[in-house]
Amino acid sequence: MDVEDGIITDVRVVRGASCEATWEAGRKLIGKTAADGPRQMGLEAQFFCSADPAGWDPIYGKSPVHFAGKVHSKALASAIEDALGKKK
Q: For residue 7, which phi and psi values (nearest 5 degrees)?
A: -115, 135
Number of domains in the chain: 1
Domain region containing 73: 2-84
pLDDT attached to residue 88: 46
pLDDT in tens, 22-78: 999 999 999 999 999 999 999 999 998 887 777 777 777 778 888 889 999 999 999
φ and ψ at 49, to 5 degrees?
A: -65, 135
Sign of CA dihedral 79, 1, 62, 51: negative
Residue 64 CA to residue 55 CA, distance in Å, equals 7
- The reported pTM is 0.83
Q: Specify whether the CB–CB gap between 49 and 19 falls below 8 A.
A: yes
